Amino acid sequence: MTRELVGHFIDGKEVFEGEQRGPVYNPALGRTIREVLFADAALVDRAVAGAKAAQVAWGEESLARRQRVMFDYRSLLLAHREEIVERISEEHGKVLGDAAGEFARGVEVVEFVTGLPQLLKGQYNDSVSRGVDAMSVRYPLGVAAGITPFNFPAMVPMWMFPVALAVGNGFVLKPSEKDPSTAIRLAELFVEAGGPEGLFNVVNGDQHAVGRLLEHPDVKAVSFVGSTPIARSIYERAAKAGKRVQALGGAKNHMVVLPDADVDTVAESAVSAAYGSAGERCMAISVMVLVGEGGQDYLSAIEARMSQLKVGSYLDPKSEMGPLITGAHRERVAGLVSEAEAKGAQVVVDGRKHPLVTESGFFFGPTLIDDVRVDMDAYREEIFGPVLLVLRAPTLDAAIALVNGNPYANGAAIFTGNGGAARTFIRHIDSGMVGVNVPIPVPVAYHSFGGAKHSLFGDTHVHGEEGIRFYTRAKAVTMRWPGEANPTTGMHFVTNA
């Protein structure tokens, strides 16, 4: 059977080249629906060369022109919203509401960069010395590359390329080979919106395409989002090749619940944050820490809500949670649940026994595990599935120490009615993003997104002001215009003395 192919998007058109190819599943059906071609080094080189050539003129364009392209791009994205959202769900498996949510968060970044002239305003000081002025300005880097994970095929690329392009760069994106089609559509629409052909290229593929991007001399910056071992390796390799790099890794996000927290708010938040998108969100809550004695009322309320959760295909409008990305990933999730159980944890709600697990899709039921210990693999490793672990801590300080003992530090949330306790949590928790009665504290586009420790290698977060800084290089200019009014002085440093 000949399957539909996903190619690459280079110099303004889809290109079907590459010896190797990989399967693209519809996870709700559990079968291959198309295949994706993998780029080799020569094709990656073509994509980089195209972006480099197009960047020269784009970098010289006025801010107003680049801003207008971004405005038109936003309109086109919204006009094609339904089609893109369906494509996300088809290849990823998340329900349409989740896909629409990620798309909306991606579009927010495009909206953020329509404020380009304001974002790129430099700084100026008149008369830092007699007759001497100083200014700081930022210029594009040239070509930047992005390497992105399967779990947000629209939003994570959109954390990167709209910012990189708006400030004047070319961009080459290597999306996840598991759900590659969305990226192609995003690039096509950029050209339709008036973006120059070749400026934004997409190469599909695996680690070989990534390897070429990391060593290519014309790639000046690398943004990566994915699992921790790969993030660490990308960081090391790109830095060694002299590039600036931001590499966002995996997560284990904790939700700390103080005894004064509202039961309904906690239950609602825990269920949506742990099981939404089948737990395949980098900001999903995967651990709940109950502080103090008791806590059974929280668990009972969570269980009651879980029993109403509708698992199913995105094609059923009633579905609230879809399947996992692959059958292999489902086996890994099931294995971690079994490991915790074998080591003495209590599986309160068991997703391994969900009726859909026997169907053809890659479904796994929502799972709640109590009495988890920090030495269990289920706690130490990122599960990336619909599994919520429950641990206990006697005090807030003990809970903070427990969370900070985990090597991941993406997001963390506290649920409480006590402002002082929340302030202590904000100040002392290691995580890069903190929620107070908000389970998934993903920053809006004009703030910056990023974690710490094993959740971020590098120091710059994505989008917001940090994104603008990442994709530009600074110049500090000191100016004097000698003349009658400004006699030139000697060879000493300019000082105010």
Residue closer to ligand NAD, measured from CB, 226 or 295: 226
Closest CA relative to residue 441, chosen from 454, 460, 426, 457:
426
CB contact set of 206 (below 8 Å; sequence gap of 6+): 20, 22, 38, 177
Tell which one of 227, 326, 404, 424 touches ligand NAD (CB under 6 A): 227
Contact 286, 274 (CB under 8 A): yes
Q: Which stretch binds ligand NAD (CB under 6 A): 38-46, 160-168, 225-233, 468-476?
A: 225-233
**Cβ neighbours for 116, distance < 8 A, ≥ 6 positions apart:** 63, 66, 67, 70, 166, 167
Residue from the set 150, 161, 363, 364 that interacts with ligand NAD by CB under 6 A:
150
Stretch that binds ligand NAD, among 1-9, 35-43, 95-103, 144-152 (CB under 6 A): 144-152
Task: Decide: 416 and 432 in contact? Cβ < 8 Å.
Answer: no
Instruction: Establish if 295 lies at the interface with ligand NAD (CB under 6 A).
Output: no
State yes or no: residue 176 binds ligand NAD (CB under 6 A): yes
| Minimum CB distance to ligand NAD smaller for 152 or for 190 | 152
Nearer residue to ligand NAD within complex by CB, 70 or 213: 213
What's at 432, amino acid-wise?
Answer: G
Q: Tell me, what DSSP letter sits at residue 205? A: -
**Residues numbered 109-128 forming contacts with ligand NAD, rule: CB under 6 A:** none
Structure tokens at 427: 């100040």
8 A C-beta contact, residue 308 and residue 271: no
Q: Which of residues 63-82 bind ligand NAD (CB under 6 A)?
A: none
The per-type count for the chain, helices as H runs and strands as E runs, is 16, 23
Pairwise CA distance, residues 460 & 130, whole Å: 37
Contact track, ligand NAD, 440-459, x by CB under 6 A: -----------x---x----
* From candidates 106, 146, 198, 250, binder to ligand NAD by CB under 6 A: 250
Q: Shortest approach of ligand NAD to residue 383 CB, angstroms? A: 10
Q: Is 22 helix (H, G, I), strand (E, B) or coil?
A: strand
215 binds ligand NAD (CB under 6 A): no
Six-digit token pair at 371? 């009495």
- Per rule CB under 6 A, is residue 91 in the interface with ligand NAD? no
| Residue 282 appears among annotated catalytic residues | yes
DSSP character at residue 271: H
Active-site residue, selected from the candidate residues 282, 288, 337, 414: 282
Q: Which residues contact ligand NAD (rule: CB under 6 A)?
A: 147-152, 156, 174, 176-177, 206-207, 210, 225-227, 230, 248-251, 282, 382, 384, 410, 451, 455
Catalytic machinery residues: 282
